[in-house]
Amino acid sequence: MNRSTASLLELTQIAIYSVDRDADIQKRMAHYGFTPKRMQEGTVLRQEVITLLNVKENHYDESWVLSQQIEADLKKTNTLFKEHVRIARSAFRKDVPLMRALRIKRIATKRWEWPQQALNFYTKLEERNADMTAFDISQEDLQQIKASVETILEMRTERISRKGEAQNSTHHKDQVLALLRAWLTEFHAVARIAFKESPQRLEAFGIIVPSGKK
């Protein structure tokens, strides 16, 4: 939360508390148009901002955790994939149809290109019952790595989704912040009129009063 937002929430809370605890202030503010219903609008807006801030933080926290997990899994899986490709090139070099299906003439280097290549590689090995047990690589080993690649791609999709949700919540939060800021500006304007003869009261609302007017 930045200072501007924190300050807005604090000033709004001061305004709401100052009015709620004093019936005379409530009557005077209502007389100038700031009715209990209008005060409630400020309370609702303030709470909505707090809720949206928490949603945003949760989205970014979850996205960070996903990113860390993806990075670790990418590194581990890429190492195994390269080793399996090296072995497959040797083991199946005479099986032209299989080699063409595996598409391992070169290993992709782009961040999200090689996982797709790996997924195809392990899928084709599985479909064609390619045997790599002579190299101490069982079918279960291959299936596990394929599952790891699928999980990585799923986590990437989830991270993109969470990023979009975070951006949407930020946009919504900014809209509600603007409404709350407008509410507080109006509150201060009405308070200055209602209590123009009482600088101390204005200061209690969080309104800065020039020293010459105290």
Q: 116-174: per-residue pLDDT in tens?
A: 999 999 999 999 888 898 899 999 999 999 999 999 999 998 888 877 877 787 888 89
Q: Which two tokens stand for residue 186?
A: 């109006």
Instruction: Indicate yes or no: pTM above 0.75.
Output: no
Q: What share of the chain is helix, strand, coil (3-state, %, to 5)?
A: 80, 0, 20
For residue 211, what is the DSSP state? G
Residue 1's pLDDT is: 63
Whole-number Å distance between alpha carbons of 48 and 177: 9
**Domain assignments of the chain as residue spans, ordered by start:** 3-213
Question: Which residue's structure tokens are 């709350």?
Answer: 180
**CB–CB of 149/118 below 8 Å?**
yes
The three-point CA angle 177-181-182 to 5° equals 120
User: Per-residue pLDDT for the chain (214 aa), expressed as one digit of tens each?
Assistant: 677 899 999 999 999 998 988 899 999 999 998 999 999 999 999 999 999 888 877 877 778 888 889 999 999 999 999 999 999 999 999 999 999 999 999 999 898 999 999 999 999 999 988 889 889 999 999 999 999 999 999 999 888 887 787 778 788 889 999 999 999 999 999 999 999 888 888 888 888 776 655 5
Contact 36, 13 (CB under 8 A): no
